[in-house]
Amino acid sequence: MATNNILANGDNWILTTPTARSTHGAVASQHRMAAQAGAAQLDAGGNAIDAIVATAYALNAVEPWMCGLGGAGFMVIWLAKEQRAVALDFQGVLAGDTRLEDYPVDPNLPATPMGFPGVVDNANIEGYRSITVPGAVAGLDHALARFGTRPRSAVMAPAIALAERGLHVDWFTSLQIGVCARTLARDPVSNSIYLPGGHPATPESRLRIPNLADTLREIAEDGAATFYRGALAEKIVGDLQAGGSRISREDLARYEVLEYEPMVAEHRGYTLYTPGEVSGGLRQREMLAHALEAMPIPLEKPTPETWLAYAEALEHCWRRHKIRNGVLSPTDSGVDGEQGACTSSMSSVDAEGNMVALTYTLLNRFGSGVTLPSTGMLMNDSVSYFDPRPGYPTTMVGGKRINSSNMCPTVVVKEGEARFSVGASGGNLIMPAVTQVAALMMDFGMSVEEAVHHPRLDASYRGSVRVDPRFDAETLTRLGKCFELEMAQQLVFPKLYACVTAVSRDPETGECTGINDPTQPIGGGAIPAAFTLESLDGNGPKVRP
């Protein structure tokens, strides 16, 4: 067994996080205030879709480095009365005038988060040329109009109030800014917001993002129409083109959300719904099938053989995925550099049993680093989802939609009742984490709280398997006989086992639970209550959604 043991210099604590519980529904998010904004919709009589949309919009103001109006993603919805699941794809789209010559490969640069070659001046991951047409506003508006119950203005009220207050900086926010300071410094607007005086904003300060509240208010009034075809679209395209982007008014106007039946996987009497082959869903289905074959009858609790089966299944499905995407030949060893990426995951459930899993992203932390001056929108760097070389399944082509993502929002149903939903942020780490949490609940009857807190491993056919040292010695020994092991503690930063968010519902008692990963200090679950926006002195206004 070869190991890289860093425990001697590890953090000297064990991370745990509380679970929110209520029979009236629950919301979980990577930021507690966003979860509270969503749970307020349940308190006001709304459903799980209202709650998830409110949560997603609120994240623009409290976790702008992960997701927002300038991002894109997937949503899976379980409609309890209709007994059916729906998937929404609101992924980004390349500008119609995208040209490969704008992205010459630079062999001296590291690969993108998706494993594709770097290009000159990091043009595919930083700055205006790295931006795709964002789908977030279209996706959220579509979900609310089709399946929500509350007015857009009410659902977005907490997000607007948070944006008007400004971003309260704590130590975790300072960390996020500091990690990306070089990229943020390239953009004059982002530099002025996040690097006051030329340095990352310090804790106990407050950052105001110019025009963000007005942009949210305009969307609340006019919906996606203004964003893609109206006055807001004109501002967006004006800023983009002034910065060198090829995105046009026609590109925005052509954007559409894809609504379809989700991919289905069956596992031990449960049905798992994911967005399908363009997400992490296909790898999830392959992983579960491979593990089920190796472990047809699970024991009462996980054993070393369980974790070997999970690790081998993850290696198997990741190898197939890399071959399909053209980043690995069938004879390749699979050794590559793992790239970090950042996203936001959230889940909601209501008292009627409707359940939602949503994951959306700017791709890298702070996306392209670009904040549009007229709207305050932080923009994605999703051009790096595409290969700058010709002839591959993911090669850049004008108007092409993102067709390969790690995001894996999952809703799990048994006997006609949604039991839990789970998603995660973390690039390549997402699918392994989501699928392990789901497998622990389905294979061993763990609660969502037990599964989220359980040690995890990470494997993506990269030449080694990362393991949490909290595993017992027998498990580590068994895994070490088959894999090169990296011993790595669960940390606040970097998050080496993804950042999981989940909700569950017990159909017998009606109890709903919400939980966010213990490594996320600002994350958490929330139960229905009026949304209270507290200012730094604790006397802020109460916002009734």
Which is nearest to 89 in space by CA: 333, 308, 258?
258
| 253-271 per-residue burial string, b: 16 or more CB within 10 A, e: under 16 | eebebbbeebbebebeebb
Which is nearest to 52 in space by CA: 436, 356, 382, 389?
356
The per-type count for the chain, helices as H runs and strands as E runs, is 16, 21
Cβ 433 vs Cβ 426: under 8 Å: yes
Which is nearest to 17 in space by CA: 521, 526, 448?
521
C-alpha distance from residue 260 to each of 277, 345, 413 (Å)? 12, 20, 18
DSSP track, 196-235 = GGGSPPPTT-EE--TTHHHHHHHHHHHTHHHHHHSHHHHH
Whether omega for the bond prior to residue 494 falls within 30 degrees of 0, making it cis, is yes
Distance between CA atoms of residues 157 and 166, nearest Å: 14
Q: 217 φ, ψ to 5°?
A: -65, -40
**Lookup: tokens for 260:** 């379809």
Distance between CA atoms of residues 165 and 278, nearest Å: 37
C-alpha distance from residue 211 to each of 70, 160, 355, 537, 544 (Å)? 14, 11, 33, 24, 23
**Residue of 19, 132, 343, 361 marked active site:** 343
Which is nearest to 526 in space by CA: 190, 34, 10, 69?
34
DSSP-derived letter for residue 149 is -
Which is nearest to 467 in space by CA: 488, 482, 481, 436?
488
Q: 417 φ, ψ to 5°?
A: -120, 130
DSSP track, 256-303 = --EEEPPEEEEETTEEEEE--TTTTHHHHHHHHHHHHHH-SS--SS--
C-alpha distance from residue 139 to each of 132, 325, 379, 417, 418 (Å)? 15, 26, 16, 25, 22
Instruction: Report the side by side order of strands in the sheet with 84-90.
Output: 258-260, 84-90, 72-79, 355-363, 342-350, 25-29, 524-526
Distance between CA atoms of residues 252 and 392, nearest Å: 26
Verify whether residue 371 is a known catalytic residue: no
Cβ 449 vs Cβ 515: under 8 Å: yes
Which is nearest to 503 in space by CA: 494, 492, 516?
516
Q: Which residues are catalytic?
A: 343
